[in-house]
């Protein structure tokens, strides 16, 4: 740029600088939309429109704002239901389906990430007397681990609320309903079949002290986030704790071999929960799960030394929220 302008203006340095400055200012204004250089020529855009665009600093996701995504609740089409039914039937023929049942029965040990989850919940989350809802419970392996914790840990022993689970895969629900029917062994436990965005519990008015979703949120359909957040409000009360164990976005970019496998950005999850009235309590990367995989070079110090990496990044994280209805918690400069 300097060379071209210098040829045009000779050796007049001040003039060169003025012209460069004007050019940079023009480009800057154009990038913010102040100047429109479209087919109709040079026009100055209404500054009120620019202010309106900048007001919320909204991050766009696929052409939609975060606010649009976390409240959208579109129905599932007949074609999608058929496709999902096929996927479930296919999954029930796979070894992974049967391995989950074996894990629940205690015929095999807990999977590595399940060990990490129960360790985290025992040390940092669970409280005496709680009622528990497991959403996306598979065959009930993690719910059984929670029951064992309440039966074995002195700080958790004693009367507690009902334990309930929701699962979409019919075969797992059928198994779990029979397996957990032994009330002397497991207490008051029930399993219902349903999508985590649309289900009916034995008591439709029941709310729970603790709701957990273990490796579930990444399978949620993008057009159903609003349905889920709304449903979560109906099964919780003030002070309810919601726990999620979820693959990191970096891991999800390298793991897309399952049905409805989505990258779930952290900011979208936290924004959606806040919009529904859930305040973030803790967000921690899962450093305890052991698996194959190696870290990339140059990782942030906080996630060095973990036990499980995918795509060079730590694979999982723990997120805990509390139901808090005070709207001031979610408003900037609220008084």
pLDDT digits (tens, 9 = 90+) for 101-110: 999 999 999 9
> Three-state SS for 273?
helix
Averaged pLDDT for residues 2-26: 41
CA-CA-CA-CA torsion sign (310, 311, 314, 318): negative
- Helix 95-105 to helix 141-152 angle (10° resolution) is 10
239-290: pLDDT as tens digits:
999 999 999 999 999 886 655 688 999 999 999 999 999 999 999 999 999 9
With 80 as the cut, is the pLDDT of residue 86 above it? yes
Please, which contacts does 106-112 make with residues 24 or more away whose CB atoms are closer than 8 Å?
106/144, 110/141, 110/145, 112/289, 112/290, 112/291, 112/307, 112/308
Q: Of 306, 305, 291, 320, whose CA–CA distance to 123 is shortest?
A: 320
Residue indicated by tokens 């895969």: 169
Pairing of strands 236-247, 208-214: parallel
Averaged pLDDT for residues 127-151: 98
Token pair of 26 as six digits: 């023009």
Distances from the Cα of 79 to the Cα of 82, 139, 146, 170, angstroms: 5, 26, 37, 19
With 70 as the cut, is the pLDDT of residue 296 above it? yes
With 90 as the cut, is the pLDDT of residue 49 above it? no
């Amino acid at each position: 740029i300097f060379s071209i302008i210098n040829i045009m203006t000779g050796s007049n340095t001040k003039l060169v600088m003025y012209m460069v400055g004007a050019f940079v200012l023009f480009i800057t204004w154009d990038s913010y939309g102040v100047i429109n250089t479209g087919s109709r020529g040079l026009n100055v855009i209404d500054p009120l429109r620019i202010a309106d665009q900048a007001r919320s600093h909204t991050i766009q996701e696929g052409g939609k704002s975060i606010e649009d995504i976390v409240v959208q609740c579109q129905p599932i089409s007949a074609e999608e239901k058929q496709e999902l039914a096929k996927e479930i039937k296919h999954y029930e023929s796979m070894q992974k389906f049967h391995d989950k049942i074996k894990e629940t029965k205690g015929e095999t040990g807990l999977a590595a990430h399940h060990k990490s989850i129960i360790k985290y919940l025992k040390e940092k989350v669970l409280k005496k007397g709680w009622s528990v809802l497991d959403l996306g419970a598979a065959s009930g392996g993690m719910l059984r681990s929670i029951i064992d914790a309440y039966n074995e840990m002195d700080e958790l022993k004693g009367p507690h609320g009902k334990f309930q689970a929701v699962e979409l895969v019919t075969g797992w629900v059928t198994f779990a309903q029979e397996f957990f029917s032994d009330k002397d062994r497991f207490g008051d436990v029930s399993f219902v079949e349903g999508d985590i965005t649309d289900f009916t519990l034995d008591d439709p008015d029941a709310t729970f002290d603790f709701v957990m979703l273990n490796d579930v949120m990444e399978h949620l359909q993008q057009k159903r986030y609003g349905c889920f957040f709304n449903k979560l409000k109906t099964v919780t009360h003030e002070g309810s704790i919601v726990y999620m164990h979820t693959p990191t976005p970096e891991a999800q970019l390298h793991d897309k071999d399952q049905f409805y496998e989505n990258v779930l950005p952290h900011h979208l999850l936290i924004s959606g929960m806040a919009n529904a009235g859930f305040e973030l309590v803790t967000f921690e990367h899962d450093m305890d799960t052991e698996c194959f995989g190696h870290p990339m070079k140059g990782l942030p110090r906080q996630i060095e030394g973990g036990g499980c990496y995918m795509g060079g990044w730590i694979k999982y994280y723990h997120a805990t929220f509390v139901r808090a209805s005070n709207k001031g918690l979610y408003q900037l400069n609220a008084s």
